[in-house]
Amino acid sequence: MGEFVRLEVTDGIGTIRLERPPMNALNTQVQEELRSAAHAASTDDQVRAVVVFGGEKVFAAGADITEFTTVTYQEMVARAGALSSAFDAVARIPKPVAAAITGYALGGGCELALACDFRVVADDAKLGQPEIRLGIIPGAGGTQRLARLVGPAKAKDLIFSGRMVDAEEALRIGLADRVAPAADVYSTALALLRPYTTGPALALRAAKEAIDGGLSVDLASGLALESHLFAGLFATDDRVEGTTAFVEKRKPKFTGR
């Protein structure tokens, strides 16, 4: 698909692969290729779930800092929105998405992982938001998604200090959902997502939209969103199949329609 990012589809799972050695630095080109891959995964009906994977050695060690040394304020004002929206395209994939993290997920790499629904982390991996050490802050969702995931106090601890956390701490604070040996991270992510490939795709989409959308509004608005999405699912074939299968005491065969 792109020079550094490609989408592969096997058995209903799309893998967005980052391939910019040695550290998968997320320069402007990689960001735009990520956006394209996310859009492709979103619109391909053959893709029922997605893994974001940087390879066996490293997930993504952050932005390409060489791009930051000469950029002006005026230039970054023009670029900052595109940077954030590229990661947001991953967050908005309307299907279950897991980050398979080996090596390092730092800065933009951690923000990319935060844009996923789940994070499978190698037992020797390191995660963090070290931007403060460069005199800046996370600019692609880190201050917002990290706080929503682990709470504001812990997010401030990590962002204010710029320190890295290991897999054990990441699991303890909720930044990681699974920890596995590095060699098994990708297969563990696949195993996590595989049940969703035969699930009710429209209901999964609605559940993700309700949860993510509800986090950005007050409770009453979130409940209204949930009711709207809940009612809409009664127009789907999978709702008919699921309820009928329950009554008939058999396993449903969902088609994603």
User: Which are the catalytic amino acids?
Assistant: 63, 108, 111, 131
The β-bridge partners of 100 are: 53, 120
Tell me how far the alpha carbon of residue 212 is from its chain's centroid.
12
Tokens of 190: 């696949």
- Phi and psi torsions of 68, nearest 5°: -90, -15
Query: What ranges in the chain are assigned the alpha helix state H?
Result: 28-43, 73-91, 108-114, 142-150, 152-161, 167-173, 185-193, 201-214, 219-232, 237-247
**148 by DSSP, 3-state: which?**
helix
Question: Do 142 and 113 form a contact (C-beta atoms < 8 A)?
Answer: no
Say if strands 104-106 and 97-101 run parallel, antiparallel, or are unpaired.
Answer: unpaired
Question: Do 74 and 121 form a contact (C-beta atoms < 8 A)?
Answer: no
Non-local (6+) Cβ contacts of 220 within 8 A are none
DSSP per position, 49-68: EEEEE--SS-SB--B-GGGT
